[in-house]
Structure 1
């Protein structure tokens, strides 16, 4: 047993001794003096030091050290070097400074004052540097500056660590990276010298000529001038601010992309665009938003909320923004709702133009036409202009509909209610006359159907107060029980209340409402329901 134990122990000892001895040998290698103009040893100066003066050159572990003068300590295998200190490590790294303390066993060099560290791709300057020649890690603690020799990028920080083997740099506190096209301000940054990509953690600002960017996590490829920003990220360009869960930015073409919970805010024109994906171009000011896209025209508590499959904001020649909404467009405001297939909003004069089967609801009125123009003002709708096939419908009672029709129609609003209507060309009306009885339901008198070229209608609280017929009016008042079949509906009549958005969330509803789109219509079957 004893012999067996000795055998195992001997084998184990042999197995561990080579590495142990190699480590010991490395730590005990003496600093070699290769040259000095003058050498002196004096106990009065130092009991363990050799003084070296003039053109001093030393070597340790393949590293060459130069200086004007030095103290070489034999027992501790260390040295102090003074003036014109130069450490050369292979053919890749040169370190300069005024004063050096080098410890051979740990292979660490402390360099002080007027320090320059150079390799093939960068130059580091600082006033204090701790350089570990075993791990090839250099650390500065009191401020440093790094200049790229390839692209003139400049980085400054209070603290930095340079890993020359992996070509990585870590910086902390008051970090500033300046490139040709932008400047990064951050608290912590990691930089890959090989790929020239900067990674930042913590509050970060990226400032360029055309934009301002903020984030708390992300990266920037300084070679290709592309970046990604995460966590509370946003970009400010011109009058617009774009934010999202993550942002991508291409500095070469001034193009930004935003993903998830996207919001574009125009602080000058007072609108907000939301969605889950957006693209923005700095030079043109154009923006595109999709995926639950919504435009909010801010007007205090009466903001207008508009949805379309795609929202596209562009600038005209005068620099004014125009927002285009494409396909399945709906909008909601407390006093105004609408739907159409496409729409434009001109922020310069606050005009909304509705295209392709537009329908508008205001109070109790449904408004149709081939093209509807809405003129907004602070506090609500000012007026509307309908081009061709204009039609206004309101419900007068069960299966009774007041109707106004004409080629062109202009409506004027007061306090959110339709107050005056001007009909031009081929004017027609169907109006139910009723007798008001206090405390009782209104009594039907009859239905008035009238044709006239131009019509002026005055309303109050959605009730017709006066109608003025211009240029040869012709009409008939039918008793309520003698209305001819089909004469109670003008050609082009449709009634679509179930499509009316009920609130700002209802603008995202894309399915057809239960029970069908049109309650009644005199159009062909193919036109009964607006496209949605």
Structure 2
């Protein structure tokens, strides 16, 4: 009888505990935690607090459902802890983690270990993530990896705002897809509008357009607009890879319109290419016309020719200079390859034509002025010609002057004398020290490529989820 009573008492205690565990838990009027199933339940105390341990548990609260290897419910405070093989389902996302601390009064989850958050077409990976189920904001403070149909993004830490479809990433930020790569120190991005701001030490490589961008700040959007502010640099390789153009400026603006690319450069703009180089305050380029427009204090160089004027346009054709134009009090200076003397041409409008990349014709009008240094058969200096004319046309072969056609003119012929090489027309400008040079070092990424591998071994429940075709 005593044994029977003793057994009955133990069984009754277990039944009471089970019934208590099956009761929904409402803590101070906050979210109700429902226990849907478990394989085993144990009552215990932890640091003097009463807890309930559930094994192979499935819990729900509102529209959140969780399965895990084990779960601890704290009876007298708003906290649940889950351990091992955790999977959480909501209408908006699916989450996997090794460890979870869930504070029901704040809808806040501290996810630790191998954390994966899948939302629509976006999957995020991290090792320490604080996630709010109400605001849908996730904080990654120990590495973040974002993957979607467009590519992969990694950073040392980040914040993801699901409702706004936006994110902030900080520390060694890298973005990569099949056509582009970008890196910087921090990034703000709105994915729905494809708007982004990339800050500090930016590097962008675009394999589709054979282009590279660097600078202090980059702003871009879905229209194809790219704006670089601070130490802007762009490298553009021609489609046939035979030529490379380098553009520097305090600010660079790139616009894509259908099949046309527009480039705008502002403040301290410098251009270097194999065929010409320039400096100016403003640069305008249109890929459909292949015209560079240099505005405000521009200087352009081609081989041994320097062109200076308030406005200069450079017409390119298949990577070769086809025509140079300059308006309003322009002056061109050519350094003689044999004597080193400076031939000078001045007027209101100057048009220089090129054949196969070599200067072939210069027309200057009206009010043209010419100072041309002559030489003898031994290519030694031998006087100079200086004259004024309403119009002058000069014809060249292989860069050497062959013939001059001028209208009615007034001029002089100077015999050779010691100071003749220093003679200058009004407005003379010769600035070889300002001529841009090809960069000695190409811009390259600071970081190794974005790894294809995820940052940890994938959890079993995640693999099962993926393999089922979800």
**TM-score bucket of the superposed structures, by smaller chain:** 0.7 to 0.9
2:98 paired with 1:142 = no
TM-score (structure 1 length as normaliser): 0.67
Corresponding residue of 1:184: 123
Q: Map 1:285-364 to 2 at 5 A.
A: 285-298=224-237, 303-316=244-257, 318=258, 320-333=260-273, 336-364=276-304
Provide the secondary structure at the position in 2 that maps to 1:308.
strand
Mapped partners of 1:214, 1:319: distance in 2: 31
Distance 1:99 1:503, change over 3 A: closer
2:42 paired with 1:103 = yes
Provide the secondary structure at the position in 2 that maps to 1:50.
helix
Shift of the alpha carbon at 1:286? 1.6
Q: Map 1:388-427 to 2 at 5 A.
A: 388-389=327-328, 390-396=330-336, 400-406=341-347, 407-412=349-354, 414=356, 418-423=358-363, 425-426=365-366, 427=368
TM-score (structure 2 length as normaliser): 0.75
Corresponding residue of 2:428: 493
Distance 1:288 1:343, change over 3 A: same
Contact 1:309/1:328 (8 A) holds in 2: yes
Mapped partners of 1:399, 1:364: distance in 2: 10
Provide the secondary structure at the position in 2 that maps to 1:493.
coil
For the aligned residues, what is the CA RMSD? 4.0
Shift of the alpha carbon at 1:463? 2.8
Mapped partners of 1:483, 1:473: distance in 2: 30
- Could you say which structure has the larger radius of gyration? 1
Provide the secondary structure at the position in 1 that maps to 2:11.
strand
Which is further off, 339-348 or 95-104? 95-104
Q: Map 1:2-13 to 2 at 5 A.
A: none
Corresponding residue of 2:21: 65
Listed as ranges, the gaps of 5+ residues in structure 1 are: 1-40, 67-85, 507-532
- Over residues 183-213 of structure 1, what are the superposed CA-to-partner deviations in whole Å (9 max), with x where a residue is unaligned? 23314351332653212333502437x7864
- Over residues 463-510 of structure 1, what are the superposed CA-to-partner deviations in whole Å (9 max), with x where a residue is unaligned? 32x12527x46465613248999995445432223322345389xxxx
Contact 2:342/2:421 (8 A) holds in 1: no
Contact 2:118/2:124 (8 A) holds in 1: yes
Distance 1:221 1:495, change over 3 A: same
**Which of 1 and 2 has higher RCO (CA within 8 Å, sep 6+)?**
2
- Over residues 119-161 of structure 1, what are the superposed CA-to-partner deviations in whole Å (9 max), with x where a residue is unaligned? 5xx50232633224267333242341231xxxx4313225341
Shift of the alpha carbon at 1:95? 3.0
Distance 1:334 1:139, change over 3 A: same
2:51 paired with 1:116 = no
Contact 2:110/2:130 (8 A) holds in 1: yes
Distance 1:371 1:175, change over 3 A: same
Mapped partners of 2:359, 2:191: distance in 1: 52
Mapped partners of 2:350, 2:324: distance in 1: 7
Q: Map 1:9-408 to 2 at 5 A.
A: 49-50=10-11, 58=17, 64-66=20-22, 87-90=24-27, 91=29, 92-106=31-45, 107-112=51-56, 115-118=58-61, 123-126=64-67, 128-133=69-74, 136-147=79-90, 152-164=91-103, 167-173=108-114, 175-178=116-119, 183-193=122-132, 195-200=135-140, 201-202=142-143, 204-207=145-148, 213-235=153-175, 241-251=181-191, 253-282=193-222, 284-298=223-237, 303-316=244-257, 318=258, 320-333=260-273, 336-376=276-316, 380-389=319-328, 390-396=330-336, 400-406=341-347, 407-408=349-350
Distance 1:289 1:302, change over 3 A: same
Distance 1:496 1:413, change over 3 A: farther
Shift of the alpha carbon at 1:403? 2.1
Mapped partners of 1:65, 1:132: distance in 2: 9
Contact 1:430/1:450 (8 A) holds in 2: no
Which residue, 429, 451, 457 being the options, matches 2:389? 451
Contact 1:370/1:386 (8 A) holds in 2: no
- Over residues 317-339 of structure 1, what are the superposed CA-to-partner deviations in whole Å (9 max), with x where a residue is unaligned? x3533121112212334553311
Distance 1:475 1:459, change over 3 A: farther
Contact 2:18/2:41 (8 A) holds in 1: no
Provide the secondary structure at the position in 1 that maps to 2:89.
strand
Contact 1:333/1:504 (8 A) holds in 2: no
Listed as ranges, the gaps of 5+ residues in structure 2 are: 46-50, 442-470
Contact 1:229/1:247 (8 A) holds in 2: yes
Contact 2:111/2:129 (8 A) holds in 1: yes
Provide the secondary structure at the position in 2 that maps to 1:65.
helix
2:371 paired with 1:434 = no
Contact 1:100/1:109 (8 A) holds in 2: no
Distance 1:399 1:128, change over 3 A: closer
Which is further off, 338-347 or 184-193? 184-193
Mapped partners of 1:220, 1:314: distance in 2: 29
Distance 1:239 1:125, change over 3 A: same
Contact 1:144/1:160 (8 A) holds in 2: no
Contact 1:213/1:233 (8 A) holds in 2: yes
Shift of the alpha carbon at 1:247? 0.8
Provide the secondary structure at the position in 2 that maps to 1:498.
helix
Distance 1:403 1:446, change over 3 A: closer
